[in-house]
Amino acid sequence: MIKVFRIVAVLVFIMSSCKSKQQASQNLPIGDNSQNSLDWNGVYRGLLPCADCPGILMELELNTDLTYKLSYQYQEATPEVFTEKGVFEWNDSGSKITLIEDDQSNHRRFQVGENQLFSLDGDGNRITGELAEMYILKKNNYDNKITEKYWKLITLNDKPIAVKDTQSKEAHFILKENENAVNGSTGCNGIRGTYTLEEGDKIHFSQMLSTRMACMDVPYEGEYLKVLEKADHYSLMGDTLTLKAADKTLATFEAVWFH
């Protein structure tokens, strides 16, 4: 009788263990998914729509220890860069993440794709419609666009450019997608004009105008404007943009995300 009881007890233990393992496996993603097959950790950036400003610059850093840092800035509304930190969780299917801010006040959700994050609505669904493409954050070094970025002048005709403390602005330009407009500064005077992009990384600036303030601290202003006129193509490597004419490098620029 004791022998039979021991056998029954062993069978019950084995069945219980199998059931526990089966239940545990149901909480784990099965097969290939974003969580276990993509190199998802890294920095993602994008310009998201804004109701009362030109756009929201956003940068999200995802770490392998499931912590994150989110930074964002409302364009032309405030120079302040807002920052959130916390942890993020994967859903059961390993396709979406939820950001949980340290103070638990905010829960943003994203669908994780290859080298990109899709911002989700309040119900956790992909945003559709005409602005859908604007709700995407691209992984750093995987975004080949040069438009809608703040390009800070770094070198001009092989000479490094330093920003003096007395300058109110730094030399830069932004290629706006609407109407192919160029906005920027020489480091003193504001500049504006138009541009065209063509296949083969060709670029042309035209109708470039500037304000007429005296610029004692920016002796390279005229040289900078001539470079924009001469440039006929560009190269892009990560956050570095190079303007060229034929085989000659005219100027290099660095992408500044928050400005």
Closest CA to 259 of 54, 19, 29: 54
Long-range contacts of range 162-171, CB-CB < 8 Å, 24 or more positions apart? 163/187, 164/217, 166/217, 167/217, 167/218, 171/218, 171/220, 171/224
pLDDT of residue 2: 46
> What percent of the chain has pLDDT above 90?
66
pLDDT at 30: 54
pLDDT band at 135; cut points 50, 70, 90: very high
Spell out the residues 6+ positions from residue 226 whose beta carbon is closer than 8 angstroms to its own. none
CA 233 to chain centre: 24
For the segment 149-174, the average pLDDT, to the nearest whole number, is 91
- CA angle, 160 then 163 then 169, to 5°: 130
CATH architecture of the domain formed by 34-139? Beta Barrel (2.40)
Instruction: Say if residue 163's pLDDT is above 80.
Output: yes
pLDDT of residue 5: 42
Q: Is the pLDDT of residue 107 over 90?
A: no
- Stretch 99-116: mean pLDDT: 88
Percentage of the chain modeled with pLDDT above 70: 87
Pick the CATH number of 150-256 from 3.40.50.970, 2.40.128.270, 1.10.287.3510, 3.90.480.20: 2.40.128.270
- Lookup result for tokens 């920052």: 83
pLDDT of residue 69: 95
Inter-residue contact 243 to 253 (CB < 8 Å): yes
**Top-confidence residue, 31 or 191:** 191
* Distance separating alpha carbons of residues 250 and 182, to the nearest angstrom: 18
- pLDDT beyond 70 at 10: no
**Non-local CB neighbours of 173 within 8 Å, separated by 6+ positions:** 151, 182, 183, 184, 185, 191, 228, 253
Segment of 20-24, 53-57, 197-201 carrying the highest mean pLDDT = 197-201
The reported pLDDT for the residue numbered 125 is 94
Tokens of 27: 């909480």
The C-alpha atoms of residue 245 and residue 195 are separated, in whole angstroms, by 15
Q: Give 12's pLDDT tier (boundaries 50, 70, 90).
A: very low
Q: Please check whether residue 55 is in contact with residue 147, taking contact to mean a CB–CB distance below 8 angstroms.
A: no
All structural domains of the chain with their residue ranges: 34-139, 150-256
Instruction: In whole angstroms, give the CA distance from residue 249 to residue 243.
Output: 6
Q: Is 201 left (phi over 0), alpha (psi -120 to 50) or beta?
A: left
Length of the chain: 259
Q: Which of 14-18, 22-26, 102-106, 130-134 has the highest mean pLDDT?
A: 130-134
Q: What CA–CA distance (Å, rounded) separates 209 from 120?
A: 41
DSSP code at position 122: T
**What is the tens place of the pLDDT at every residue in 198-246?**
999 999 999 999 998 888 888 999 999 999 999 999 999 989 999 999 9
Equal fold, 34-139 vs 150-256: yes
